[in-house]
Amino acid sequence: MLCRTAHRWVPAEVLLTPVGTSTCLQAIAEAQRRLKHLRNLAATQMPKQGVWSSLASMVTGADKMSDAELEGTLVTAEAGLLEAILLLSEESVMAFVKVVNQQVCLRPPSTTPEWISIQSYPVSVCACGVCVLHQAGLSIRSSWKLYEQCDASLNNAVAALKAERVPFVHQVAARKATASLPAKSESVRAPAETGATPAGAGAGAGAGAGAGAGAGAGAGAGADTGALASTAAGGYYDPDGSAPALPEGYSGILSGGASSDQDDAVVSGVLFGMGGFNVYLSILPPIVLKIVSVLGFPSDRLV
Amino acid sequence: MWIYCVFVVVNRDRGMAQLRLCFQTDSIRAPLAGIVLLTQHIIIPSFFATDMSDHLPEATAILDTCLQRFPDAAIFLGLQGRMERMRGDIPAAIKVRTGVQWFLDITLL
């Protein structure tokens, strides 16, 4: 038997191959179940949304969230995003489309809509058997909105990030590699290094200046920022902490506003969510975007 | 390039910058951001582009960092094999990819 995964037909034995203690399909179903519970749990930490408060936030802009509310919102958004990604791993890109057309529904229009939910699957089927309600598009949209709320609580530091201020990864890596292991890095990345060495040196100097500015801002804003900055400097790129330079954009985010007292995990979560949205939505072809927008969302939402 | 999407104005360059920044933090999302960046630099160009010179440096740097931390990760090994194939190093690609064939069977990698 052949099963259709995201991109091709594979034998059912492959999907039923044990991975750990369960098969792939069981693992996906289990992950979806857990994500649903996680989302419900984290949603209880989100700020209360009443009619008046939402109206007020439309006029005056969203309030600052407390730390717990911020984390709850972030986790809710991430869970929704991961649910949608898991759905896509089973289905195809068209699962983004929320098909809930009452026009094509075969049931008489006077009857109330009746959605039959499939167990542990974010899809509901209409009783007419034709139209299908996919919830992936919905959860993606709400996730984006939640990420925007988190970002508003970070003074819009993430959305306003200038692309020029972030160095390319190979420039940072080249700088640190030449600092620690010059011979090996040259031999491994010879074609890349030849072109990138002057740029890497320039970025190194610039990032050094940025680190100085970030350290100054940290000293001004308090010890919290200093600790966070040192985390970033000795972070993922640099396990032994030998490189003192901070990526320029990160220090910009830290010194840019109220985000300096936020947790590193929150900032990186918003960065990852908004960055992933920006990248993945931008590679969809415009015709797909148009179809998605026509089918899935009210047209007055179009920008 | 600006693309007007559903209700969102998405900007690819800004998204890549955010992901790069996220990759340089010390959080749990750093490897995830690395995966997203690698799909942009390895998977998608292998369909369309003929000139890999502007994708390979960053992909190499990210893969080195990730494999240093997760030496046996199937995702990163599969991506590394694909990158070696793009570079033209077929024996290295075969050597890397046969080790994680079970994973490659069920994914796009």
Task: Kindly list the residues from chain A whose CB atom is less than 8 angstroms away from the CB atom of residue B76.
Answer: none
Q: DSSP secondary structure string, A33-101?
A: HHHHHHHHHHHTTSPP--HHHHHHHHHH-PPPPPHHHHHHHHHHHHHHHHHHHHHHHHS-GGGGS----
Nearest to A88 by CA among A33, A31, A6: A6
Task: Tell me whether A115 touches chain B (CB under 8 Å).
Answer: no
For B38, name the nearest residue in chain A, comparing CA atoms only.
A169
- pLDDT for position A121: 47
The conformation of residue A181, written as its DSSP 8-state character, comes to: -
Contact state of A168 with B57 under an 8 Å Cβ cutoff:
yes
- pLDDT for position A61: 58
Q: Which of A55-69, A78-92, A186-200, B8-22 has the lowest mean pLDDT?
A: A186-200
Instruction: Give yes or no for residue B57 having a pLDDT over 70.
Output: yes
Which is more confident, B93 or B106?
A: B93
Contact state of B20 with A144 under an 8 Å Cβ cutoff:
no
Q: Ranked by mean pLDDT, which of A23-27, A180-184, B31-35 comes out on top?
A: B31-35
Claim: this prediction has a pTM higher than 0.80: no
- pLDDT for position B34: 92
The conformation of residue A168, written as its DSSP 8-state character, comes to: P
Task: Tell me whether A141 touches chain B (CB under 8 Å).
Answer: yes
Could you report the predicted ipTM of this complex, rounded to two decimals? 0.83
Contact A74/A259 with Cβ under 8 angstroms? no
Contact state of B36 with A279 under an 8 Å Cβ cutoff:
yes
Q: Cα-atom radius of gyration of chain A, to the nearest Å?
A: 24
Task: Kindly list the residues from chain A whose CB atom is less than 8 angstroms away from the CB atom of residue B11.
Answer: 163, 278, 282
Nearest CA-CA distance, residue A110 and chain B, Å: 30
Task: Kindly list the residues from chain A whose CB atom is less than 8 angstroms away from the CB atom of residue B9.
Answer: 303
Q: Which of A9-23, A286-300, B55-69 has the lowest mean pLDDT?
A: A286-300
Contact state of A14 with B106 under an 8 Å Cβ cutoff:
yes
Task: Kindly list the residues from chain A whose CB atom is less than 8 angstroms away from the CB atom of residue B16.
Answer: 163, 275, 278-279
Give the phi and the psi of residue B11 in degrees, each rounded to 5. Answer: -135, 115
Diameter of chain B by CA atoms?
A: 46
Q: Determine which of A282, A288, A289, A297 to mutate to test the interface with B (most B C-beta atoms within 10 Å).
A: A282
Rounded to an integer, what distance in angstroms lies between the CA atom of residue A95 and that of residue A133?
10
- Half-sphere exposure (CA, 13 Å, Cβ side) for A21? 1
Rounded to an integer, what distance in angstroms lies between the CA atom of residue A159 and that of residue A162?
9
